[in-house]
Structure 1
Amino acid sequence: MMLRRLLGSLGVGGPSVDTVLDPGPVLPGAILTGQVVLDGGKTDVDIDHIALELIARVEAEHDGGETEGVVAFGRCTVGGGFRLPAGERHSLPFGLTVPWETPVTELYGQPLGIVLGVRTELAVSGAKDKGDLDRLTVRPLPAQEAVLAALGRLGFGFESADLEFGRIGGTGQRLPFYQEIELTPAPRYAHAMRELEVTFLANPGGMEIILAADKPAGFFSGGHDAVSRHVVSHDGVPHRDWTEAVDAWLRRLVAGRGVVGVPAPHGHDHGDPYAHHEHGHGPEHDHGGHRSGPGMGTAVAAGAAGLAVGAAGGLVAAEVVDEIGDAMEDEGEG
C-alpha cells in the first residue's frame, strides 16, 4: 500500500514523498527493498536527508492498566545532500535490513493483527516531516512456520497475537518488545492449560522458542505460568519431525520437568525464568534426524490451516496504518 502526503510542515507547494515497497512479504533477517520517490514542489529545495524507520504498535502493561504506543525498531538513511529542482522527480532505491526479531504479521496469507509500518522522514533545509507511511508485511521463517504448523496439527487453535513492551529475562532478546502468539489448547492438553503463548526470538544462527502455558488453579494452589525455552537452528528444518518434537516439549511443559513456574499476569518482564531450560534442545540437538512424512510443505500447509482460523480478527490494511499515523502525530517529534 502506498500513501502520498504533501509535507504540510514544509509549506504548501513543497515537495512530496512516496515510498514504494517492493511487492510481497519480507522475512525476518532479510533485506526490505523499494524506492523513495520525491516530486519537487513549486521551488527548488535542498534535501538534507531521507531516512526510513521501521515502527510497530506495541502494548505496555503497568499498574494503571494497559496502553498502546508506537515504537521504532530499525532505521536507515536512504540519501541526502542534494538539491531537488522545482517540479522534478527523483527516485532513490533502498535496502533496509529487517531485524531478526521482527514480528510475524501473517501466516499463510492470514493477518495476525500485528501492526508494523515503514515511516519515511524527509528533512528539507533543516525542517523535518514524517512524509509517508507504508504497511509492512512479514511472513514467518521456516522454523517458525514449522513450529506453528506442528501446533496446528496437534490441535491448537489461533486465538490472538500482540506485541508486548519489555524484555524476557534470560534470553538473547534485542528489541525492546516481543511478540506473543496466543493459542487455545488442543483437547489432549485442555486439562493442563487454559492457553499457550508462543514467542520466537530469532537470530542469524537460530531461534529461541519460549512456550508459556497458563495453567489452571488447583485445589491447593493458584493458577500460574509454566514456561520453557528451546533453541533450534535454521538448518535442517525440512528434516525434523516437528510434530513429535513440539509434542515432547509440551508434555514436559505440563509435567513441570525442566521448566520454571512464574506468577501471572502476562506482559511484564519475567525476570530470569528462562535461565534453566530442558536439556537436549540446545543448538547441538537442533538438526533432528527424522523426516515428517509426506514432505514438509504439504504438512506445514495442512497443519497451519486450523491454526490460522480467526486470525483476521485484528485491524488490517488502511485502518491499521491510519492508526499508526494518528499516534505518531500525537507524539510529535518526541
Structure 2
Amino acid sequence: MVFKRMLGALGVGGPSVDTVLATPRTQPGGTLAGEVRLKGGDFDAQIEHITLGLVARVEMEHGGGEGSGVGEFTRSQVSGPFTLREGEERTIDFQIPVPWETPISEIGGQHLNGMALGVRTELAVAKAVDKGDLDMVAVEPLPSQLRILQAFLQLGFHFKSADLELGHLYGVRQELPFYQEIEFYPAAQYAGVVGEIEVTFVAGPGGLEVILEADKRAGRYSGDAIGRFQVSHEDALRTDWPSEIDRWLTGLAQYGHHAPHHGEHYGHHDSHHDSHHGGHYGHHDSHHDSHRGGGMGIGAVAAGAAAGVVGGLVAGEIIDEVFEEDEGGDEEW
C-alpha cells in the first residue's frame, strides 16, 4: 500500500514522495528493503535528509485513564543532502534493519487483531521537516516464536487480541520502550485453572525470553501467575512446547508462590506479594519505570529510544484512518 501526498512543508507546487516496499513482510531482526521515489515540484528543492522510521500504535496510561498513541521506535537515515531539481524524478534504494524486539503483526498471512505497524517517510526540505507517506508493514514471527504460539493452538487455546504496552518488563533486558502482549482465551481443559493468558517475547540474536502471564483461578493463591524462561532459537525449535506449557499450567493448581520446572524460574504472585516485591514481577508501566532508572540493564541507547518514543507519541486518531484498513482479525488468530 502506498500513500501519496504533496509535501505540506513547501505548499502547492512542492516535491512529492512515495515509499515503496520491495517486500511488505519481514521478521524481527530482519530487514526492510524498498525505494523512496521523489518527484520535483515547480522549483528546485534543497533536500537535507530522508529518514525512514518504524512506527506502531502503543497503549499507554495517562491522566488516570488509558489511551493509545502512535510512536516511532527506530529510525534509519537513507539519504544525506542533495538538490532535487524542478520536475526531476529520483529513486533512492534502501535497506533498513528491523529491531529484534519488533512486535509480531501477522501470522501465516493473517493479521493479528489489535496490531498496527508502519514505515513513515520523513523528508527534511529547506529547514522544514515533513513526515510524508506511511506504508503498512507486516512482521511475521521468528520460527522459534511461531513454535510457541502454535503450541497454544494445539492445546485448544484461541487467539483473542494483541497490543503494545508502553513500559518495561521488570528484570528483563529490553531495548524498546514497549512490549507486546499476545492474548489467548483458555482451552476448555484449563478453564478452572486459568483465565486468559498473555504471551510476551523479548527476542535477541541469541534467543528468546518468554514471559507467560495467566489469570490464575485455582490453587492456594489467586491473581496473576507469571512464567519466565530463556531459550535459544535453536532449542526453541526442538522443545515440545505443548507438553511444557501443559506442565506449567497444571502446576499452577498445585504450587503457591513458586512453581519451578526443569531449572527454569517460574513464579507466582498476586497483589499481596507485589507489596513485598516492589511491584509486578512481569509487567510495568512508565510510572514504575521512573522509579527504577537505569537499574534495569537498559543502556543509554535504549534510554534514548524510550525518550524518543514517548516524545513522539501522538493522538491515535491522527493515524487511525491509515491503520484501520488492516485491522481486521481472523478466526484462527
TM-score, scaled relative to structure 1: 0.77
> What is the one-letter code of the residue matched to 1:225?
D
Tell me how far apart the structure 2 counterparts of residues 36 and 115 of structure 1 sit (CA, whole Å).
22
Separation in structure 2 between the aligned mates of residue 206 and residue 177 of structure 1, nearest angstrom = 19
Specify every segment of 5 or more residues in structure 1 that has no aligned partner in the other structure, as ranges.
265-269, 276-317, 325-334
Listed as ranges, the matches of 1:87-236 within 5 Å are 87-113=87-113, 114-216=115-217, 223-236=222-235
The amino acid that maps onto 1:246 is I
- 2:33 paired with 1:71: no
After superposition, the Cα gap between the structure-2 partners of 1:198 and 1:51, relative to the gap in structure 1 and judged at 3 Å, is: same
Structure 2: stretches of 5+ with no match in the other structure: 261-266, 273-277, 284-318, 326-333
Cα distance between partner residues in 1 of 2:224 and 2:63: 20
TM-score (norm 2): 0.77
CA contact (8 A) 2:193 2:249 kept: no
Question: How many angstroms does 1:21 deviate by?
Answer: 0.9
The alpha carbon displacement at 1:140 in A equals: 0.5
1:106 and 1:126 map into 2 onto residues whose CA distance is 38
User: How far 1:91 sits from its partner (Å)?
Assistant: 0.7
| 1:62 positional shift | 4.7
Render the CA deviation track for 1:144-199: whole Å, top value 9, x for unaligned.
10001111001111111111111110111221111111111112211011111111
Give, in angstroms, the shift of residue 241 of structure 1. Answer: 2.1
Cα pair 2:25 2:137 within 8 Å, conserved: yes
Aligned residues: 275
Contact 2:52 2:122 in 1 (8 A): yes
**Structural mapping, 1:264-275, within 5 Å:** 271=279, 273=281
Aligned residue type for 1:68: S
Distance 2:164 2:56 in 1: 8
Contact 1:163–1:180 (CA under 8 A) maintained in structure 2: yes
Deviation at 1:246, TM superposition (A): 2.5
Q: What's the CA shift string for 1:27-83, capped at 9, x where partnerless?
A: 001011111111111111111000011111011135622111112111010102111
Tell me which residue corresponds to 1:245. Answer: 244
* Alignment partners' CA distance in 2, 1:185 and 1:95: 40
CA RMSD of aligned residues (A): 2.4
Q: Deviations over 1:84-134 (max 9, x none)?
A: 111111111111111111110011111112011111100111111001111
**DSSP 3-state at the match of 2:139:** coil
The CA distance in 1 between the partners of 2:207 and 2:236, in whole Å, is 11
Name the structure 1 match of 2:269.
Answer: 261
Q: Map of 1:290-305 to 2, 5 A cutoff?
A: none
1:7-18 matches, within 5 Å, as 7-18=7-18
Deviation at 1:260, TM superposition (A): 2.6
Residue 85 and residue 253 in structure 1: after superposition, are their counterparts in 2 closer, same or farther (change >3 A)? farther
Deviation at 1:273, TM superposition (A): 1.4
Does the CA-based 8 Å contact 1:27-1:141 persist in structure 2? yes
Shift of 1:274: 5.4
Alpha-carbon distance between aligned partners in 1 of 2:33 and 2:243, rounded to the nearest angstrom: 37
Contact 1:45/1:125, CA 8 A, preserved across alignment: yes
- Give the superposition deviation at 1:8: 1.5
> Do 1:150 and 1:243's aligned partners in 2 also have CA atoms closer than 8 Å?
yes
Instruction: Check the 8 A contact 1:227/1:262 in 2, yes or no.
Output: no
The alpha-carbon deviation at position 254 of structure 1 amounts to 4.6
Q: Give, in whole Å, the separation in 2 of the partners of 1:134 and 1:176.
A: 22
Distance 2:252 2:173 in 1: 21
Q: State the Cα distance separating 1:322 from its structure 2 match.
A: 5.2
